[in-house]
Amino acid sequence: MKIGILGATGAVGRQMLECIEERQLPVEELRVFASERSKGKKLPFAGQELTLEVVSQERLNGLDYVLGAVSNSLSKEYRPLVEKSGAVYIDNSSAFRQEDGVPLVVPEINGQDALDHHGVIANPNCSTAITLMALAPIAKLSPIKAVNACTYQAVSGAGMGGISELKDEVTALTKGESVEAKVFPAQIAFNVIADIGGPLENGYTTEEMKMQNEGRKILHLPDLLVTCTCVRVPVYRSHSIAVTVVTEEPVSVEAAENAIAAFDGDILVTDHTPTPLENSDKDIVQVGRLRRDLTNPNGLTLWCTGDQIRKGAATNAVQIMEYLENNK
């Protein structure tokens, strides 16, 4: 496999490198790309050092797969170059997720969709991927009609700047000093902020609407009803989601737990409540606190956690690449 990584110096790009090494993929060549200021610097990989390059048509040519961990604007800029190279572009940005002809894939759920690509495959939003990993086993028991979710999203979802802001605020506040929010809309230390993404006319945010739009596409349920509130919490890594799901027919708690326990990539937790801390730097989604929704006989409520940098982004992209390679 000849692989390229766009945005290799960022949190997701670095995690992609780790995932490729951990999964011992048959890598023939690996090229890492970043901005001009990083050109020539080194990144460790499998006991070697990879030299960072600037994206160019020449250096993309000859690759089999290109994994994108860059912004929407850069992804749109690089896409034509990747397509011209003949490589499959697996993109972590939101630029192409709703585009017709671009599969939106979580391999454990709809991996088959990846085989119908036309050169570009999209990775879903991190909260969407984690939530759907918990719901997909239930959907196999009875079609899902509606989802009500509240996310608890780690600061690293906003990049390294989010991590630094939380650290700096905690340090300042414990010294009695004042703080000024720069990355987030308000102070994040010792606080929660129900404001992620840009505001929309319907009162929701772009982040919240991703759950509906992406869930419909991945689950092949165009009429799926989703309402979501996305909340930033002072946690460094891993997102958590409280979810209530309504199915066409009643699904018992026992049946749902058995389905989740048997689903690849999920871990059912019954002896305690899963926490984001214990699930950080892991590829699995932990699901717990399954119970009957007291407002709807066809509803179940659950709690799930997942590492948004791994399964919510980097690992999922690498898994898509693996799926394509294994289904040639």
Active site residues per annotation: 126, 239
Residue 11 annotated as lining a ligand binding site: yes
Residue 38 annotated as lining a ligand binding site: yes
Residue 12 annotated as lining a ligand binding site: yes
Alpha-carbon dihedral sign for residues 315, 316, 322, 325: negative
Residue 75 annotated as lining a ligand binding site: no
Residue 112 annotated as lining a ligand binding site: no
Strand bridging mode 299-306 / 285-292: antiparallel
Residue 62 annotated as lining a ligand binding site: no
For residue 17, give the H/E element and its range: helix 11-22
Residue 10 annotated as lining a ligand binding site: yes
Burial of residue 51, with CB atoms counted within 10 A of its CB: 0-12 exposed, 13-18 middle, 19 or more buried:
exposed
CA torsion 255→109→247→200, rounded to 10°? 140
Terminal-residue alpha carbon distance, the chain? 13
Helix (H, G, I), strand (E, B) or coil at 184: coil
Gyration radius from the chain CA atoms? 20
Residue 237 annotated as lining a ligand binding site: no
Residue 23 annotated as lining a ligand binding site: no
Q: Annotated binding site for phosphate: which residue ranges?
A: 97
Q: Annotated binding site for NADP(+): which residue ranges?
A: 9-12, 37-38, 156-157, 308
